């Protein structure tokens, strides 16, 4: 069976790309109805409805979530945020939040600004609120909340998440450009020297390794470092992709099904698992 994967992308973090290669023949016939042995089922037709890039805004940016006044405060806050004026950005985001208490966007951005201010108590408060409003996930809420909770109890070095956030926001990694690949790999290595027990770094590191075994080792290392729900899902997605590329379609299918059917999976990971499962079984 020949499987061709042109491009799969999770924003900022997960970049999938591979050229078509021959896959090993599996002795098991994969039916159009996928199951996990626990009564969960999903059809090929449903998988075909999935999209290549998950868009949180389509799920959460609803017109009736906020008044025009709240939106104007929010836009002003975004402007200050882009200018690096954290204090003013917080003021405007708080106004937007007061005007529209259940609108997730100012809440999420307030949390980010408090991370930059090294005010983790407030950052935790707003990330927790964002997680309550969007329990299935909203951008990097689950990564941040988990990391800051670990910092609070001393399980992670203080400042780990802030440094990681700055790295994610500032890097210009392009997988097809070798110079950028090298710079990114070096940057991640430096961070890993400081906090090797932070799973998101292993998630990123795996993307810049060459051999299947090196990638798999980095993924397994990440999975062993108490990952948050979103990071765990991305690690498993990458494991499925690399496993598929290595020729084991059956194993890759089982990994993707485990993401789709896990009630704790993050919403973007579920969508990407559906999309990729549909891709690797396109000849069926």
In the chain the domains, ranked by start, together with CATH numbers, are: 2-66+103-280 (1.25.40)
Of the candidates 24, 26, 49, 44, the residue with the CA atom closest to the CA atom of residue 34 = 44
70 vs 8, which has greater pLDDT? 70
Mean pLDDT along residues 66-89: 95
Tokens representing 212? 């299947």
Mean pLDDT along residues 73-97: 96
Pairing of strands 14-16, 33-35: unpaired
- pLDDT over 80 (residue 20): no
**Lowest-confidence range among 9-23, 30-44, 139-153, 245-259?**
9-23
At 7, the pLDDT band (50, 70, 90 cuts) reads very low
Contacts of 172 (CB under 8 A, 6+ apart): 180
Mean pLDDT along residues 183-190: 85
User: pLDDT digits over 112-167, tens only?
Assistant: 999 999 999 999 999 999 999 999 999 999 999 999 999 999 999 999 999 999 88
pTM of the model: 0.84
Mean pLDDT along residues 204-231: 95
**Which pLDDT value is given to residue 120?**
96
- pLDDT over 50 (residue 41): yes
Q: Which residue has the tokens 């882009």?
A: 82
Contacts of 184 (CB under 8 A, 6+ apart): 171, 173, 204, 208
- pLDDT over 50 (residue 31): no
**Which pLDDT value is given to residue 176?**
55
Distance separating alpha carbons of residues 258 and 252, to the nearest angstrom: 10
184 vs 78, which has greater pLDDT? 78
- pLDDT over 80 (residue 199): yes
Mean pLDDT along residues 30-41: 72
Mean pLDDT along residues 223-252: 96
C-beta separation of 102 from 67 below 8 A:
no
Mean pLDDT along residues 57-70: 80
Distance separating alpha carbons of residues 60 and 103, to the nearest angstrom: 9
Distance separating alpha carbons of residues 204 and 14, to the nearest angstrom: 8
**Which pLDDT value is given to residue 214?**
94
pLDDT, mean over the chain:
85
Tokens representing 268? 């973007």
**Which pLDDT value is given to residue 12?**
26
Tokens representing 112? 């980010």
Burial class (CB in 10 A: 0-12, 13-18, 19+), 68: exposed
Q: Which residue has the tokens 């991640």?
A: 188
């Amino acid at each position: 069976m020949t499987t061709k994967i042109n491009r799969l992308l999770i924003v900022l973090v997960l970049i999938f790309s591979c050229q078509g290669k021959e896959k090993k023949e599996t002795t098991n016939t994969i039916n159009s109805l996928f199951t996990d042995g626990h009564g969960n089922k999903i059809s090929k037709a449903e998988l075909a409805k999935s999209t290549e890039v998950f868009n949180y805004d389509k799920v959460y940016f609803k017109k009736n979530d906020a008044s025009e006044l709240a939106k104007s405060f929010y836009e002003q806050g975004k402007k200050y945020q882009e200018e690096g004026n954290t204090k003013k950005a917080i003021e405007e985001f708080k106004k937007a939040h007061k005007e529209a208490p259940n609108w997730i966007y100012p809440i999420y951005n307030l949390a980010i600004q408090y991370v930059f201010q090294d005010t983790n108590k407030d950052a935790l408060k707003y990330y927790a609120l964002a997680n309550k409003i969007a329990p299935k996930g909203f951008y990097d809420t689950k990564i941040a909340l988990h990391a800051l909770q670990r910092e609070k109890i001393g399980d992670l070095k203080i400042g780990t998440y802030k440094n990681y956030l700055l790295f994610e926001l500032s890097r210009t990694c392009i997988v097809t450009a070798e110079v950028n690949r090298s710079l990114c790999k070096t940057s991640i290595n430096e961070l890993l020297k400081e906090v090797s027990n932070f799973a998101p770094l292993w998630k990123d590191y795996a993307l810049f390794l060459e051999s299947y075994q090196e990638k798999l080792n980095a993924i397994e290392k990440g999975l062993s470092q108490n990952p948050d729900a979103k990071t765990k899902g991305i690690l498993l997605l990458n494991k499925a992709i690399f496993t598929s590329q290595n020729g084991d379609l059956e194993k890759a299918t089982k990994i993707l099904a485990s993401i789709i059917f896990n009630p704790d999976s993050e919403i973007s990971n579920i969508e990407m698992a559906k999309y990729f499962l549909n891709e690797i079984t396109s000849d069926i």
